[in-house]
Amino acid sequence: MAGAAGLSLAALSGTSAAAAEAVSSDSKDVTKTLARYLVNARYEDLPENVRKEGVRTLLNYVGVAIGGSHHETVDIAVSALSPFSGPPQAGLFGRSERFDIMTAAFVNGVSSHIFDYDDTHLKTIIHPGGPVISAILALAEMKPVNGRDFLNALVLGVETECRIGNAVYPNHYDVGWHITGTAGVFGAAAAAGRLMGLTEQQMVWALGLAASQPVGLRESFGSMNKSFNPGRAAADGLFAAILASKNFTSSDGMIEAKRGWANTISTKQDYREITGELGQRYEAALNTYKPFACGIVLHPAIDAAIQLRDENKLTAAQVKSIDMKVNPLVLELTGKKTPKEGLEGKFSVYHAVAVALIEGAGGEKQFSDRAVRDPAIIALRGKVNPVIDPAIKPEQVEMSIALADGRVLTKRIEHAIGSLERPMSNADLERKFRDLADGIIPAQQIATVMERCWNVETLASAADIVAAGRKAA
């Protein structure tokens, strides 16, 4: 599903091979310059929109980490790693176990990505929250930190991974790397290193040890290995920062040197993306959140269905047919007519529109085995008629619902909810969070952990967020 986004976004990113070549000489002191920024940047200097987006990134992350916490993938990871974990230093979202900080960061990172429902930096398709927040929330339990310093580290971590991602995207992603893991380890090391109080030289080494551990290949998509990647990036970034904090050395130019990270791992290197306008341009302000638990290509259709339903108080019984003009990618990627399992539902525009119209949502529950086997939804999906129209962009849809009473309702979407142009509101994010956490932790606890996320800047200890998001032992 990230691939679907990639297909359209790579072309939109505006980076040409010629431009990349023209700038690959701007490679002086990239690692050092970034490290200097990371150890000096202050919470007080963060623009308000960046702070607000950082808080939303945190809330969305905690929601998806709780939501995924009882998936089979997480059960396996917990069972496999329990015999090897160090002291119970850090908790797991939605669960009662406690592990050493690196093991906890791994498991929470896996949980956060299981449903492919996490945040997205659209320019690179990096999911920034998983690697960074998994690492620093675990660390915050061991080494107390107030909410302002925590939020500053979160933003710096996201900034680091997205800037490094920008420098090598799209070539790096196109060749086969899962960029969330390869860039994510830098973000985790940077954020953790900042909270550990690394010196500039130690931060250079932390980034170097992070560069030595790229995680993840696209071939793993569709297996548990995909969620492994942000989890392992979180743990590897912590590992790098922990060693660097004791003066375990690396090279001073691991990102930009001739035989360093960017040259080894990508045919494009635009170092201005890493060191340009530090403290002025914020990639962290460009984070987005999925409103629906499926590939971005389906979002306009689901959005249209829910809007028509809500505006007209529609029920399935009223509907005669649902006609749509869609971008060709929609049928190429999500053309399954008769999905039999929940996961297959994510690849069926027929199911997605039908369930959205009946249930008014497109969350993980709408892509469950229960949902794809619901007779009412199956009946309605037979009335969904998507038609390809190359004039329709991937972010657009035109929907026309014919009712039994003869009326025809229409809706054109220019940008689906969750895009940069129509961001999820805070209320939308809360609804998504509740939907994910429902049944995993009690409602009162859901309210508490959301409240602590919104008010992270006032917390005396950021670890209070984990305390509220864990399951009682």
**CA-based nearest residue to 172, from 108, 126, 235, 228:** 126
Place of tokens 């945190």: 58
- The nearest distance, CB 207 to a copy of itself, in angstroms, is 11
Q: Which of 37, 115, 117, 177 binds a copy of itself (CB under 8 A)?
A: 177
- Return the structure tokens found at 160: 């680091």
Where helices occur in 198-224 by DSSP H, the ranges are 200-211
| 367 scored as a contact of a copy of itself (CB under 8 A) | no
- The nearest distance, CB 77 to a copy of itself, in angstroms, is 6
| 218 scored as a contact of a copy of itself (CB under 8 A) | yes
CA-to-CA distance for 43 and 46, rounded, in angstroms?
A: 5
First to last CA, the chain: 36
Q: Which of residues 222-281 bind a copy of itself (CB under 8 A)?
A: 222-225, 228-229, 232, 239, 242-243, 245-251, 253-254, 257-261, 263-264
Q: Between 30-40 and 200-211, two packed helices, what is the crossing angle to 10 degrees? A: 120
3-state SS, residue 401 = strand
| 81 scored as a contact of a copy of itself (CB under 8 A) | yes
- Nearer to a copy of itself among residue 266 and residue 419 (C-beta): 266
Kindly give, in sequence order, each residue whose CB lies less than 8 Å from that of residue 384, ignoring residues fewer than 6 positions away.
322, 324, 349, 350, 353, 354
Q: Which of 41, 58, 101, 353 binds a copy of itself (CB under 8 A)?
A: 101
Residue 236, judged by CB atoms within 10 A of its CB (0-12, 13-18, 19+), counts as buried
The partner residues of 289 in beta bridges, in order of sequence, read 119
- Nearer to a copy of itself among residue 218 and residue 432 (C-beta): 218
Q: Which of 146, 199, 220, 426 binds a copy of itself (CB under 8 A)?
A: 220
- The nearest distance, CB 59 to a copy of itself, in angstroms, is 28
| 199 scored as a contact of a copy of itself (CB under 8 A) | no
Interior/surface letters 391-408, b for 16+ CB within 10 angstroms, e for the rest: ebebbbbbbbbbeeeeee
Contact 462, 145 (CB under 8 A): yes
Contact 104, 268 (CB under 8 A): no
| 425 scored as a contact of a copy of itself (CB under 8 A) | no
- The nearest distance, CB 73 to a copy of itself, in angstroms, is 7
Q: Which of 15, 27, 73, 134 binds a copy of itself (CB under 8 A)?
A: 73
Kindly give, in sequence order, each residue whose CB lies less than 8 Å from that of residue 148, ignoring residues fewer than 6 positions away.
43, 457
- Nearer to a copy of itself among residue 46 and residue 262 (C-beta): 262
Contact 437, 120 (CB under 8 A): no
Strand-strand pairing, 98-99 and 90-91: antiparallel
- The nearest distance, CB 342 to a copy of itself, in angstroms, is 17
- The nearest distance, CB 10 to a copy of itself, in angstroms, is 14
Q: Which of 16, 22, 45, 86 binds a copy of itself (CB under 8 A)?
A: 86
Place of tokens 């040409």: 16
Kindly give, in sequence order, each residue whose CB lies less than 8 Å from that of residue 443, ignoring residues fewer than 6 positions away.
none
- Nearer to a copy of itself among residue 268 and residue 309 (C-beta): 268
CA-to-CA distance for 135 and 65, rounded, in angstroms?
A: 13
Distance of CA 97 to the CA centre of its chain: 24
Stretch that binds a copy of itself, among 97-105, 291-299, 362-370, 460-468 (CB under 8 A): 97-105
Q: Which of 208, 230, 237, 469 binds a copy of itself (CB under 8 A)?
A: 208
Binding mask 27-66 for a copy of itself (x = CB under 8 A): ----------------------------------------
- Nearer to a copy of itself among residue 21 and residue 310 (C-beta): 21
Q: Which of 41, 77, 293, 468 binds a copy of itself (CB under 8 A)?
A: 77
**CA-based nearest residue to 71, from 117, 135, 132, 128:** 117
Element housing 121 (H / E): strand 119-121
- Nearer to a copy of itself among residue 84 and residue 444 (C-beta): 84
| 120 scored as a contact of a copy of itself (CB under 8 A) | no
CB count, 10 Å around CB of 444?
9
Binding-site size, a copy of itself (CB under 8 A): 60
- The nearest distance, CB 83 to a copy of itself, in angstroms, is 7
- The nearest distance, CB 229 to a copy of itself, in angstroms, is 6
- Interacting residues toward a copy of itself by CB under 8 A: 73, 76-77, 79-81, 83-87, 89, 100-102, 175-178, 181, 205, 208-209, 211-225, 228-229, 232, 239, 242-243, 245-251, 253-254, 257-261, 263-264
